[in-house]
Structure 1
């Protein structure tokens, strides 16, 4: 077969592009290929993780950069099963609570590392109304509904697509929640994209569409212990939250409907303060949460993605900064961890051995007329982003 081919100034011109013919000595093409490989600074690797009792294959994806950060995500629950970042000596170590097996994640646990939906946090008495119709949800946090229900997004199998290019790699997860699943109306198509950069940032992009009016409030439920020593509580972690107000709650952790000033309260983290400084204070709100289990009203809500909170462990030097476009953030200090769940390398996760920084809308928003709306209509696109950035100081 005759192939018309010319080389001009090192550039190949091929009449039959589908044959992918290249000039000998085409240095520009070879150099481009080498450059592409050299700039692949973040990698992604897929491995088998296990099989559910229903026969569903679960995969694990490891995203890894050149700065010592690794993130493992499994397709069961979209769970971050491992997250390793360097300390001030350059040693990469585990900083999130997790298990060693799929079987353990499938047992009852407090949402370790999981994606939460359709609605993160609590809905009062498991009921809300849209256009005059009342919807009833499963009561899994008596007397309320919590984190999407007992079979929420944390217990479903997500499909995954990977992408990489240069200084980042992404894992895009997809799940279609059927109309009336867990009591929520509408067929909801959800995408969650985890992106690791070579600057030790993990971006979480949430997207959703619906074919019927519904409510949506997605979040990520990793428990952090920046010391990497999970035999220690997180009481010495230094927390900052850019919030002038708190969403106070009643005895069942449902918002009262008011927003209160944090000034002169244990909830003022506008300047860095260790978790243990006031967690045992004689404060009515702290008693209700058995510690910190509250949503803060983030400042600068009109500015899109901005600094929301940080956590710092002086011993390791690790600093976690959280950026989000969401109106609120829930600080939960592991108050209900009770020493019954196994650690990866022996021992158990004791009281307050991890803390969560969950970006979200306020709890019970569908029943609170003065809170920002969590309603999603057909034709609208739900889209929100949170970034977890790690560094040392």
Structure 2
């Protein structure tokens, strides 16, 4: 591993005075945050990390409760604090993505922090949907790529609010793993919300009059139409197996297509125990986790509960994500809420998302 080069050189002095090597401390922070400590207790690890954080911030357990001293220390030293923990946050994010079934099946991640090139190769002519983040909203644009093309994903800065949990950690009310979890989960939730909505928005790119785009109620009378769509998507992709993708609420509406007598007893038992309906007449059924986004004082579902996608199996991961890393931190200057013990920060990273619509796929808008 290459030695960490800090922007603030005083961090090296702090590590030297404490007799710590950053690489060892980073491993300890990562293992603590991921609850994977070996040979050291959680309390011992937390005490060692807490000692480092107080040195970075030029605080003590006694002075952290002094509002004026805390604010001044954070104003002077917040960049050092976040520069030391940013690798831990990044490790938690990437580890979580590597263990997430949705990411494994649908998201092709380029991690620019480890040297990957922001470049994707396309074998066939495709429709590319580019999503650019702008605050809590994302805009879409379309373009066509010819056969054998390469493309890069545009990136933009994205942020997650943090702050209160840092004060709780320094005051000893939560441990290091809880503080890091609060930071990376806030960011992770924002990223996943975009990705989940991105996949369901793919269906809106199909022409309204396309044979692969249907608006229909799901009932025994419309089952032949649904079966035909499954067959058409399979045929258009060289008789590939197809899977049915949607939110938990949407996929359960498949039961309205017919009675469930075709199901095995094992499948019925699985439905009873887990609430999942299992394969639909031999076709895999994949549930996209639901996410909420705040719209003013209300919550809005990001994954549509009235849509099903029919996607060929074995296709390349349709969502392309570029993660640039190199986090930055800014203080949120909200005068109305600026209290001494509630300093607000925004943890910012840059990333971009694109969706490749290469192979034929189906979209069902559930009506009625």
Q: What TM-score do the two structures reach when normalised by structure 1? A: 0.27
Give the helix-richer structure, 1 or 2. 2
Q: What TM-score do the two structures reach when normalised by structure 2? A: 0.28
Higher relative contact order (CA 8 A, sep 6+): 2
Give the strand-richer structure, 1 or 2. 1
